[in-house]
Chains A and B, each alone.
Chain A
């Protein structure tokens, strides 16, 4: 009898370092399944960010490069331009991509780099210990916003998928979540589609994933999922924001 379900070939046997209830593990798994199903492992290079996912290369058995804070899209550009036959993806958090790396992501998208960006939005800085991110919600507490985010001082949370969809150059921009099984399934389809667009040399692709950070939110994993659904999803609306067919 054949196996109905098994670990993706591109994933290693290592235990991940993520906190209990963190959804990075789910997204890793979805990326791994997409790589396996598309049969691209031997031709793929991932870019690890700075932040919680910096050691993503410990969990994937394919080539990886580690970027500095925010620079993953520039590094991916360098690889893709000199090796257009390779599949290049970045995996970045919200501090990395929406704060320090805002310039790099916007310009990589605007150039239409044929890369795939997986963007984890959990509305806080994780690795550095719960400081305010550009995506932190109004009133949400963070170690650098102990009374809650004051939008009069810090502006409103940045909606990256919305912003990215304003770029005229063709691209695939979607916002997904991994808070419930049906959302996970949809997210999987989006990630696979994002890689497919790259395989077909169609366009830049960007998948924002609404995720949780129970540790820095100070919640149980269950409460974190509930809070994300009630607080983040109304502001960070899910769905496709742009497809190359729109252009």
Chain B
């Protein structure tokens, strides 16, 4: 298929349809409202379901209901909206239902602003809702990857019966780029007979199904959490995604960066290379599971003097980088989070300071 020029938010909506998701519930919030606007027109055209809920809280449970009933479903929101949905996300993770949440991050905390940010890293990867659970978190670096990751997200959600988050930011949502919708990322929903509440008449066993998260027996709840943990361990083995940039040569600094920020870092690395300064980049494409071994191995290379995590936050992913580098190299941090994206020149200045 030929490339088309699309706004990120609209491309995400189209990607969901092309991946086979015909059910979308959402509540408007800047900077991602165009997803809902786009799908309010497109879904009826393809016989799908579009519903604007009364709040993000309600939308979270509309998603839970639809997902529990065995249908492929998605919502999109932005940071404060995801906070409101976090209750439902915890329940959906506990009840082991597949659902796709897209977070087009804006600055926080609180109302913050409406410009791009990466301030929701902790929320997405370390919790957000209550209890021991994880989302599988995909972090695109542009419109093309936002499309591909949105399409992948449904298959991953169904593979693990777990919510998957596609975490972009306001820049990815708002910018226009040429984009291609790959046919090979289309997936089919998996068999729901064992668990989905889609009516006893749909299954051979005629057994009733129950979607729940209450386990009053402590041994049972403990076992449930162990089962969830095993699933997260499986994600770590089978579904880590990452990119290494300019790691072939003898780099002095390893930049850790993801999403929109990584594109700025890539430009800075190319500019530094032209000056004869070798810098490499490690970019996690899955924020959970975090590519632990890959960042460690890239950091411990002899030529590498230090690692710096560059983020549109006040320092969140840097904690995972530090954890994985295990003290073998110094790990620094640089970040901004007012909504302005640090420039390549600023990154170059920071790197030059580091290497003295």
Interface residues of A (CB under 8 A from B): 41-45, 47-48, 54-55, 57, 60-68, 71-72, 74-83, 86, 103-104, 107
Question: 4 extra interchain contacts, Cβ-Cβ under 8 A, other than A65-B210, A66-B211, A75-B64?
Answer: A63-B197, A65-B212, A68-B91, A82-B23
B69 in contact with A86 (CB, 8 Å): yes
Which B residues are CB-close (under 8 A) to A48? 212
Interface residue SS majority, chain A: helix
Task: Mark B81-105 against chain A: 1 for CB-CB distance below 8 A, else 0.
Answer: 0000001100100010000000000
Interface residues of B in 156-192 (CB under 8 A from A): none
Which B residues are CB-close (under 8 A) to A63? 197-200, 208-210
Residue of A nearest to B64 (CB): A75
B53 in contact with A74 (CB, 8 Å): yes
**Contact A81 B54, CB 8 Å, known A65-B212, A66-B214, A68-B91:** no
Residue contacts A-B, CB under 8 angstroms, 5 given:
A48-B212, A57-B210, A66-B95, A66-B210, A82-B49
Q: Compute how far the CA of A76 lies from the CA of B23 in the bound complex, rounded to whole angstroms.
A: 14
B41 sits at the interface (CB 8 A):
no
Q: How many A-B residue pairs have CB under 8 A?
A: 132
Q: Compute how far the CA of A68 lies from the CA of B65 in the bound complex, rounded to whole angstroms.
A: 11
B333 sits at the interface (CB 8 A):
no
Q: Compute how far the CA of A79 lies from the CA of B71 in the bound complex, rounded to whole angstroms.
A: 9
Q: Compute how far the CA of A71 lies from the CA of B63 in the bound complex, rounded to whole angstroms.
A: 11
B198 in contact with A86 (CB, 8 Å): yes
B51 sits at the interface (CB 8 A):
yes
Q: Compute how far the CA of A104 lies from the CA of B63 in the bound complex, rounded to whole angstroms.
A: 14
CB-contact partner of B61 in A41, A43, A44, A75, under 8 A: A75
Q: How far is the CB of B178 from chain A (nearest CB, A)?
A: 33
Residue of B nearest to A80 (CB): B65
CB-contact partner of A71 in B57, B66, B210, B213, under 8 A: B57
Number of residues of chain B lying within 8 A (CB) of chain A? 39
Q: Compute how far the CA of A48 lies from the CA of B212 in the bound complex, rounded to whole angstroms.
A: 9
**Contact A79 B66, CB 8 Å, known A61-B208, A65-B212, A66-B211:** yes
Interface residues of B (CB under 8 A from A): 23, 25, 49, 51, 53-55, 57-69, 71, 73, 87-88, 91, 95, 197-201, 206, 208-214
Q: Compute how far the CA of A71 lies from the CA of B62 in the bound complex, rounded to whole angstroms.
A: 9
Which A residues are CB-close (under 8 A) to B57? 71, 74, 103-104
**Contact A77 B210, CB 8 Å, known A42-B200, A63-B197, A71-B57:** no
Which B residues are CB-close (under 8 A) to A47? 65
CB-contact partner of A82 in B53, B59, B66, B201, under 8 A: B66
A66 in contact with B61 (CB, 8 Å): no
Residue of B nearest to A71 (CB): B61
A54 in contact with B68 (CB, 8 Å): no
**Contact A82 B69, CB 8 Å, known A42-B206, A103-B55:** yes
Q: How far is the CB of A97 from chain B (nearest CB, A)?
A: 14
B25 in contact with A83 (CB, 8 Å): no
Q: How far is the CB of B21 from chain A (nearest CB, A)?
A: 11
Which B residues are CB-close (under 8 A) to A107? 53-54, 58
A81 in contact with B212 (CB, 8 Å): no
Which A residues are CB-close (under 8 A) to B60? 71, 74
Which A residues are CB-close (under 8 A) to B211? 64-66
B200 in contact with A81 (CB, 8 Å): no
A81 in contact with B199 (CB, 8 Å): no
CB-contact partner of A78 in B64, B209, B210, under 8 A: B64
Most buried by B among A43, A57, A72, A83: A83
**Contact A67 B69, CB 8 Å, known A48-B212, A81-B23, A103-B55:** no
B199 in contact with A86 (CB, 8 Å): yes
Q: How far is the CB of B24 from chain A (nearest CB, A)?
A: 10
Which A residues are CB-close (under 8 A) to B49? 81-82
5 cross-chain pairs, A with B, having the tightest CB-CB distances, nearest first: A78-B65, A78-B62, A74-B61, A75-B65, A42-B201
